[in-house]
Structure 1
Amino acid sequence: MRKINWGLIGGGEGSQIGPAHRLAAGLDGAFDLVAGALDHRAEAGRAYAVRLGIARGYGDWREMLEGERGRQGGVQLVTVATPNATHFEITKAFLQAGIHVLCEKPMTMSVAEAEEIVALSRETGAICAVNYGYTGYALVRHMRAMVARGDLGRVRLVVAEFAHGHHAGGDDAENPRVRWRYDPAQAGVSAQFADCGIHALHMASFVIGQEVKRLAADCVSCVEGRVLEDDAQVNLRFDGGAVGRLWTSSVALGRQHGLTLQVFGEKGGLAWAQEQPNQLMWMPLGGRKTVIERGEGGLSPEADRASRVTVGHAEGMPLAFGNIYADLAEAIRARAEGRVMDPAADLYPKAVDGLRSMAAIAAVAESGGVWVDARPPSLR
Structure 2
Amino acid sequence: MTKLRWGMIGGGEGSQIGPAHRLGSGLDGLFEFCAGALDHRAAEGIDYGQRLGLGDRAYGSWQDMLAGEKARDDRIDLVTVATPNSTHFEITKAFLEGGFHVLCEKPMTMTVEEGEEIVRVAERTGNICAVNYGYSGYSLVRHMKAMIARGDIGKVRLVNAEFSHGHHADASDADNPRVRWRYDPAQAGVSAQFADCGIHALHMASFVTGQEVTKLSADTISCLEGRELEDDAMVNFRMDGGAVGRLWTSSIAIGRQHGLGIQVFGETGGLRWCQEQPNQLFYMPLNQRLQVIERGEANLSPEADRTTRVTIGHAEGMPLAFANIYTDLAEAISARKEGRAIDPAANLYPKAPDGLRSMSAVVAVAQSGQNEGKWLDARPPMFRE
Aligned to 1:208: 209
Aligned to 2:159: 158
2:265 aligned counterpart, secondary structure: strand
Aligned to 2:320: 319
1:47 aligned counterpart, secondary structure: helix
Aligned to 2:228: 227
Unaligned segments of structure 2, at least 5 residues? none
Moved more, 324-333 or 363-372: 363-372
2:80 aligned counterpart, secondary structure: strand
In structure 1, distance between residues paired with 2:322 and 2:181 = 24
In structure 2, distance between residues paired with 1:13 and 1:304 = 34
- Equivalent residues in 2 for 1:19-30, closer than 5 Å: 19-30=19-30
In structure 2, distance between residues paired with 1:70 and 1:159 = 49
User: 2:205 corresponds to which letter in structure 1?
Assistant: A
Q: Does 1:92 align with 2:93?
A: yes
Question: Post-superposition shift, 1:70?
Answer: 3.7
Q: Does 1:9 align with 2:9?
A: yes
In structure 1, distance between residues paired with 2:252 and 2:353 = 30
Normalised by the length of structure 1, the TM-score is 0.99
User: 1:18 corresponds to which letter in structure 2?
Assistant: G
Aligned to 2:305: 304
1:370 alignment partner, one of 370, 374, 377: 374
1:101 aligned counterpart, secondary structure: strand
In structure 2, distance between residues paired with 1:241 and 1:9 = 40
What whole-Å deviation, never above 9, does each CA across 1:238-259 have from its counterpart, x for those lacking one? 0100000000000000000000
2:247 aligned counterpart, secondary structure: strand
- Equivalent residues in 2 for 1:265-284, closer than 5 Å: 265-284=266-285
What whole-Å deviation, never above 9, does each CA across 1:107-139 have from its counterpart, x for those lacking one? 000000000000000100110000000000000
2:248 aligned counterpart, secondary structure: strand
Identity of aligned residues (%): 74
What whole-Å deviation, never above 9, does each CA across 1:321-370 have from its counterpart, x for those lacking one? 00000000000000011000000000000000000001100100111301
User: 2:383 corresponds to which letter in structure 1?
Assistant: L
2:353 aligned counterpart, secondary structure: helix
Question: Post-superposition shift, 1:36?
Answer: 0.4
Aligned to 2:47: 47
In structure 1, distance between residues paired with 2:182 and 2:215 = 25
User: 1:372 corresponds to which letter in structure 2?
Assistant: L
What whole-Å deviation, never above 9, does each CA across 1:225-280 have from its counterpart, x for those lacking one? 00000000000100100000000000000000000000000000000000000000
Aligned to 1:256: 257
1:159 aligned counterpart, secondary structure: strand
Q: Does 1:81 align with 2:82?
A: yes
In structure 1, distance between residues paired with 2:26 and 2:46 = 21
In structure 1, distance between residues paired with 2:286 and 2:223 = 40
Aligned to 2:289: 288
Aligned to 1:143: 144
Question: Post-superposition shift, 1:179?
Answer: 1.1
Q: Which runs of 4+ in 1 moved over 2 A?
A: none
Question: Post-superposition shift, 1:78?
Answer: 0.4
1:161 aligned counterpart, secondary structure: strand
User: 2:288 corresponds to which letter in structure 1?
Assistant: G
- Equivalent residues in 2 for 1:92-131, closer than 5 Å: 92-131=93-132
User: 2:311 corresponds to which letter in structure 1?
Assistant: T
In structure 2, distance between residues paired with 1:171 and 1:117 = 39
In structure 2, distance between residues paired with 1:324 and 1:86 = 22
Question: Post-superposition shift, 1:71?
Answer: 1.3
Q: Does 1:57 align with 2:61?
A: no
- Equivalent residues in 2 for 1:172-211, closer than 5 Å: 172-211=173-212
In structure 2, distance between residues paired with 1:334 and 1:176 = 43
Normalised by the length of structure 2, the TM-score is 0.98
In structure 2, distance between residues paired with 1:214 and 1:328 = 31
Question: Post-superposition shift, 1:171?
Answer: 1.4
In structure 1, distance between residues paired with 2:256 and 2:64 = 41
User: 2:253 corresponds to which letter in structure 1?
Assistant: A
In structure 1, distance between residues paired with 2:183 and 2:76 = 34
In structure 2, distance between residues paired with 1:101 and 1:171 = 38
CA RMSD of aligned residues (A): 0.6
Unaligned segments of structure 1, at least 5 residues? none
What whole-Å deviation, never above 9, does each CA across 1:270-292 have from its counterpart, x for those lacking one? 00000000000000001000100
1:15 aligned counterpart, secondary structure: coil
In structure 1, distance between residues paired with 2:140 and 2:34 = 32
